[in-house]
Amino acid sequence: MKKILLATALSFCAACAALAQEASAQASALVRAVPAQQRVLTRTATGFGAVAFAPGGVVDGNFAKAGRVVRVAVAAGQRVRRGDVLIEIAADPSASLAYAQARDAARYARQEMARMRSLFARQLATRAQLDAAQRVLADAEHALAAQRAMGAQIGRDRLVAPFDGTVVSVAAVPGDRFAAGANLVQVARADRLRAMLGIEPADRAGLRRGLPVALVSVSDPQSTGTGTVAWVGGGIDPQTGLIPVAVRVEAGTLLAGARVRGDIAVARRRTLAVPRQAVLRDGGQAYLFQVAGSRAHRVAVQTGIEDAGWTEVQGHLASGEPVVVLGNYELQDGMAVREESR
């Protein structure tokens, strides 16, 4: 009888051991783990806005004399090359008259000066008379030079593009009369564009002049550009609730008027990083699981830059031990794990 009881007890112990081993195997979790890496991460501040011509790149086209518009050769939005004709004019009759009067006055003054020198040489005129004639001649020549500088001697004239660019506006039509200095056309440099972006106030930290910016059209992803921050607004725009940031566009295929997204590289550094899905949060505390000795160990971390699916982490991570990226939501500290074959 004792032998039977002993055999039964041994069988029961063996069964319990087998059940415990099976339960232990069932308690382990299947996970996928990858090593943490040293990577260069970039923190970006993203804003949206529009491309426009830079203020310093827009030039007013005008004449220093009054006149009448004969022909308008361009329209707003048209691209022009340096030297292309923009507007042709005819000189105003009053401007032509003023030039003729200045020309005749200078001719008379030169003749009078020659006569006065002859009289002075024969002692028939005084030094004061000679000096007075000299002053009259100088004034007449200055007046004539001023008329020539204004182009008053030219009956018909034309305004040409001073550089390659785009016509911003045209304020004249054939037949219009205009005053001296009146702006008839505006031309903007094709290579001087500016993007005005709006940045969330929470992303303002680190924004400063000179940071690189990647631009892309929101309606045409193939239209892109690069530039640098020209200035950062010192306050929040009351209409948009955003921080205004001006970007100097330096290269690309963007056109004035395009709506764009701008990614500003605020910070860039080499740091320890893990895939974003490895980081979990419990309230305000970030943590992850490392695998060591077939067990998951919970490690509290501080996160930093997130870039292209990777997150900067700082904490007491074991060197060389992988971090769990799949199956980590079911883990507990010290839990047995089985790594998925890759």
Q: Which tens digits make up the pLDDT trace of 122-169?
A: 888 888 888 888 898 888 888 878 777 766 555 578 888 988 888 988
Q: Which has more confidence, 13 or 212?
A: 212
- Tell me whether residue 1 is in a domain: no
Find how far residue 90's CA is from the centre of its chain: 42
Instruction: Among 229, 251, 268, give the residue marking a domain's end.
Output: 268
pLDDT in tens, 66-89: 888 889 999 988 889 999 999 998
What CATH number is given to the structural domain containing 143?
2.40.50.100
Whole-structure pTM value: 0.57
Total count of residues recorded for the chain: 342
One domain for residues 130 and 244: no
- Tell me whether residue 207 is in a domain: yes
What does the pLDDT read at residue 154? 55
- Tell me whether residue 20 is in a domain: no
- Tell me whether residue 4 is in a domain: no
Which residue reads 């900067």 in tokens? 312
| Beta-ladder partners of 310 | 275, 307
Rounded to whole angstroms, the Cα distance separating 269 from 199 reads 22
Which residue reads 């003729």 in tokens? 100
Residues whose CB falls within 8 Å of the CB of residue 202, separated by 6 or more in sequence, listed in order = none
Tell me the C-alpha to C-alpha distance, in Å, between residue 251 and each of 25, 157, 214, 227, 245: 60, 36, 10, 7, 18
One domain for residues 299 and 212: no
One domain for residues 165 and 223: no
What percent of the chain clears pLDDT 70, i.e. is strictly above it? Answer: 87
Rounded to whole angstroms, the Cα distance separating 114 from 133 reads 9
One domain for residues 123 and 133: yes
What does the pLDDT read at residue 94? 67
Q: Which of 34-48, 208-222, 307-321 has the highest mean pLDDT?
A: 208-222
CB 76 within 8 A of CB 135: no
- Tell me whether residue 125 is in a domain: yes
Which residue reads 């020549």 in tokens? 141
One domain for residues 281 and 170: no
Phi-psi region of 334 (alpha: psi -120 to 50; beta: other; left: phi over 0): left
CB 45 within 8 A of CB 207: yes
Per-residue confidence band for 228, with pLDDT thresholds at 50, 70 and 90 = very high
One domain for residues 181 and 202: no
Q: Which tokens in the block code for residue 194?
A: 């500016």
What does the pLDDT read at residue 113? 85
Indicate the number of domains in the chain.
3
Rounded to whole angstroms, the Cα distance separating 129 from 119 reads 10
Mean pLDDT of the chain: 83
What does the pLDDT read at residue 153? 58
What does the pLDDT read at residue 92? 66
Q: What is the mean pLDDT of residues 314-342?
A: 83
End-to-end CA distance of the chain: 56
What does the pLDDT read at residue 1? 47
Rounded to whole angstroms, the Cα distance separating 298 from 287 reads 7
Tell me the C-alpha to C-alpha distance, in Å, between residue 142 and each of 66, 102, 109: 20, 9, 12
Rounded to whole angstroms, the Cα distance separating 108 from 305 reads 82
| Beta-ladder partners of 40 | 270
One domain for residues 316 and 291: yes
Print the domain residue range for 206: 44-54+190-268
Residues whose CB falls within 8 Å of the CB of residue 82, separated by 6 or more in sequence, listed in order = 160, 161, 162, 163, 164
What CATH number is given to the structural domain containing 222?
2.40.30.170
- Of 148-162, 186-200, 234-248, which range is least confident? 148-162
Rounded to whole angstroms, the Cα distance separating 105 from 101 reads 6
Instruction: Among 268, 292, 309, give the residue marking a domain's end.
Output: 268
Side-by-side strand order, sheet with 165-170: 58-61, 185-189, 165-170, 79-80
Around 24, how many Cα atoms within 13 Å sit in the side-chain half-sphere?
9
